Structure 1
Amino acid sequence: MTLNVVITGSTEGIGLGLAAEFASRGHNVAICSRSADKLESALAKLAAQPGKTVGRICDVADVTAVQALWDNAKETFGEIDIWINNAGLARTVWPILEVPQGEVETMLRTNMLGTINGCRVAANGMRAQGQGKLFNMLGGGSSGEYFPGLGIYGTTKRGLDYFTDALGKELADCDVIIGKIRPGMVITEAVIREAREKPEAFEKSRATMNKLVDRVDTVAPYLVDGILATQKSGTMVRWLNGGKIAMRMTKGLFVKRPDQFEPFGL
């Protein structure tokens, strides 16, 4: 059965990886970005896939734009079966007191307000149509763990973990499934950008990160499998779990993993 999927923040990184994986399986996908150039580039990359892909400019912090994203996808595909709130910004090169105010506000608007907007629009639409799956992308800090540089970003993701649980409880009496995604440590354009901005900090954590990071094309198929298999609210689709972390760290004591960053010029 062909499904109709909407993914926010989906012109690069894990969002584009998910879009490509869904489209490669023949599903229809609507992507979005604030950048027209990135949107055009992503659509060109997805054009060869069997699933139909469409794109739209959308700032998720603008609820009117999010509603237009839903309306356009519904008009194009019919019912929306899966909505993934992936749009997010991670600026992790500063301690809390040194994060530029503009970066703080952009992270809050994109990660928190943008996801809340997406949930409210998609959940209302799915209740009206009688079904659907809605997933929020979590990340470092969402379980309460601390990492240097993630003070603001982790706070947004911690808040979204609570918000997702709350939404699932409020929608427990309807056929809208609310789930979470934790992709683990994935090498994306954002990770590469921050490593180049703060090479000293990156080199300090490089050895540990090298044991845990993965590439988008490794993680995306696993996440899509989990999303498609999810049948109840509260499900966490998680790539890098505690057992996998422990296994990799232990293995790293005896076998050196090939450097995962060198192919990206780091």
Structure 2
Amino acid sequence: MSNVVITGSTKGIGNGLAREFLRRGHSVVVTGRTSQAVDEAVGKLGPDATGGALALGRATDVTDVEQVQALWDHAVAELGRVDLWVNNAGVANTTAAIVDTTPEDVRGMVSTNMLGTIFGSQVAVRGMLAQGAGQIFNVLGGGSDGRIRPNMGVYAATKRGLDMFTRALVKETKDTGVRVGQVRPGMLITDGWLREAAVAPEQVSGQRKILNILCDHVDDVAPYLVEKMLASTRSGEEIAWLTNGRMMRKFLSPKQDVLTRYGL
């Protein structure tokens, strides 16, 4: 049984990953910005735990390195060690061009996406070196592959930067007991995505055809990602859901309206 910490796991793909780890008998520390959100998530995830796994929680602002360190210390105190650390916390605002993105939204994306992952990686690497081993996965997103997409300039820049950061961390931890990898979950319909859709319904309407081809539900993707993370044995692992092959199959398969589940 592994002990797993997942940042930004009270909802979205982080929450889906937490549920899948628990179902496989691995203990998980769930994190979010507020204690209320964390407590609610832990309460809902608890029944999914099997084989003695524990669902724990800790409110953490990942942009504050001291809180990130406190998260590591809490996980070790409760579980004994941390085997797998997933830097998943992120913010996306993808309804405006770069020039129209507000300063608040720019700060939110840069600080949470970049600083949160960097601080999380620093804390986890130090802790894992001290305990002798461990594995880190950074969850990337749209733009990390270098493709330009409408209204995703700032968000994509943070994720592209994290791709380079993760690759550098792989090299810096070479020949240690710490393995580093990245996860690209594809285009998922999450709570955050739905909030974005509510802000810009015309954008969803204009892209509906392609969204119905490429978008996926969290509960369909999370089991695959968790299985691949648990099976990973080498540093530098790149786990991707929306591969070129899967994308091609989506375009060739009968079309479904995946958005109707959410009233869109």
Q: Aligned partners of 1:203 and 1:37: how far apart in 2?
A: 34
In structure 2, how many angstroms separate the alpha carbons of the residues matched to 1:217 and 1:143? Answer: 24
Q: Give a deviation string over 1:183-221, Cα, whole Å, max 9, x none.
A: 011110011111111000111111101111111111000
Displacement of 1:107 in angstroms is 0.5
SS at match of 1:153: helix
Distance in 2 between residues matched to 1:117 and 1:189, nearest whole Å: 25
CA contact (8 A) 2:212 2:255 kept: no
Q: 1:132 maps to what in 2?
A: 134
Map 1:37-52 to 2 at 5 A. Answer: 37-49=36-48, 50=50, 51-52=53-54
Gaps of 5+ in 1: none
After the TM superposition, which parts of structure 1 deviate over 4 Å for at least 4 consecutive aligned residues? none
Query: 2:161 corresponds to which residue?
Result: 159
Give the whole-Å Cα distance in 2 for the aligned partners of 1:118 and 1:17: 20
Q: For 2:213 and 2:46, how far apart are their aligned partners in 1?
A: 34
Give 2:262's aligned residue: 264
Pairwise CA distance, 1:262: 1.1
Q: Distance in 2 between matches of 1:162 and 1:214?
A: 26
Q: Take 1:154 and 1:249, find their aligned partners in 2: how far apart are those partners? A: 24
Query: Is 1:150 matched with 2:180?
Result: no
Match of 1:233, SS state, is coil
Stretches of structure 2 that go unaligned for 5 or more consecutive residues are none
TM-score (norm. length: structure 2): 0.97
- The residue correspondences of 1:1-266 to structure 2 (distance < 5 A) are 2-49=1-48, 50=50, 51-251=53-253, 255-257=254-256, 259-266=257-264
Q: Give identity over the alignment, percent.
A: 48
The one-character-per-residue Cα deviations of 1:149-208 (angstroms, maximum 9, x if unpaired) are 110000000000000000110110201000000001111001111111100011111110
CA RMSD across the alignment: 0.8
Counterparts of 2:28 and 2:57, CA distance in 1: 8
Equivalent residue pairs, number: 261
